[in-house]
Amino acid sequence: MKLAKSHGLRLERIKSSPRFIDGTFKNTHATTQLQKGTGFSTFGEYFTGKQTRSPPAPLPSEDPLPAWQQVPETGLRTTWLGHSTVMIEIGGVRIVTDPVWGNRASPVSFAGPKRFQPVPVTIPALPKLDAVIVSHDHYDHLDYPTIVQLAKIDVPFFTSLGVGKHLEAFGIAASRITELDWWETATVPRSEVTITAAPSQHFSGRGVSDRNHALWSSFAVKSAKHSVFFSGDTGLTNEYEEIRRRLGPFDVVMLEVGAFHPSWGDIHLGPENALKALKLLGGGMLLPVHWGTFNLALHAWDEPAETLVKLATADDVKLLMPKLGAASEPARIEVLDPWWRNVRLLPG
């Protein structure tokens, strides 16, 4: 598919962004995507590493539809649907983050990282959605076949500045797209719930010719009584302290923990840095995302979860890690169930 380009008012907004410098978007701090001198060793590890990068069987999951038919009594409920896709129910609205139902995180349907875990519910079976958040334009966050299906549903999209060009190309009407620069806020229609774009430390692009032509963001979702933070993709940045001051505190903090590697520079968190980020954000219950769905890294498929549990236990951090599709009200979660271990112990 030909890459979309920004033009008109969208292009003018991009050019006026403080983050758009010398023709591309830039992180606040200088970052690296690959540590110098590590390319050869990383390439070798890809082919010779002994990690089990996919589980021997599908992970256990639940059908969320029965739970979704009931209003969350506490006013806040989250349902992890795989990777960075989460249904957030807050202030009487339903919001889905980075919806990916496609089989591959790839520009083509016949190659690239393949999903090893199905989504526990189909798009046609979803209850009425009030908003969709797309953090940035990478293939494991902005999925063409998913957007084509969502184009048939009258739901507004909230995304980072410049990403709207892709959404329009995929069939989403311009009137349904709200693009936000960092610290800009929009309100979900017919509600009091607000969505604010905030800093993250990453990059963008769907091909060799559009690197960093669209922005990447984290997002804060707020109702009168609750607040949720969604990291999108990011490395560790002290900008999380400013997010805490301006948008916190948060009931639930959704941070990426998977698809990380020490040589990959400053653009992903991993479990250890996710806990550091949580502290900078002022705490809250941690819902780890960006794991358990695609083989995108060199670590074992369950390493993010196992490492996070070990570190969080030592730091007395409260984790929200329900099974895929399990609709959970964070205020009622008391005991962590490491459900993924049943799959890890299977022969494979």
State how beta strands 194-198 and 185-187 pair.
antiparallel
Q: What's the CA gap between 218 and 196, in Å, rounded?
A: 8
Phi/psi of residue 187, nearest 5 degrees: -110, 135
Residue 244 has pLDDT above 90, yes or no: yes
Per the CATH hierarchy, to which homologous superfamily does domain 34-330+339-344 belong? Ribonuclease Z/Hydroxyacylglutathione hydrolase-like (3.60.15.10)
Residue 46 has pLDDT above 80, yes or no: no
Q: pLDDT (tens digit, 9 = 90+) per residue, 105-144? A: 999 989 999 999 999 999 999 999 999 999 999 999 999 9
Q: What's the CA gap between 95 and 150, in Å, rounded?
A: 13
Give me the residue spans of the domains in the chain. Answer: 34-330+339-344
pLDDT computed for residue 298 by the predictor? 83
Q: pLDDT (tens digit, 9 = 90+) per residue, 162-203? A: 999 999 999 999 999 999 999 999 999 999 999 999 999 999
Count CB-CB contacts under 10 A for residue 128. Answer: 10
Tell me the DSSP string of 198-255: E-------SSTT-TTSS---EEEEE-SS-EEEE--S----THHHHHHHHH---SEEEE
Residue 49 has pLDDT above 60, yes or no: no
At 209, is the pLDDT very low, low, confident or very high (cuts 50, 70, 90)? very high
Residue 44 has pLDDT above 60, yes or no: no
Q: pLDDT (tens digit, 9 = 90+) per residue, 300-339? A: 999 999 999 999 998 889 999 999 999 999 999 888 999 9
Q: What is the average pLDDT across 37-46? A: 44
Helix 303-315 with 270-280: angle, nearest 10 deg: 40
Phi/psi of residue 132, nearest 5 degrees: -125, 135
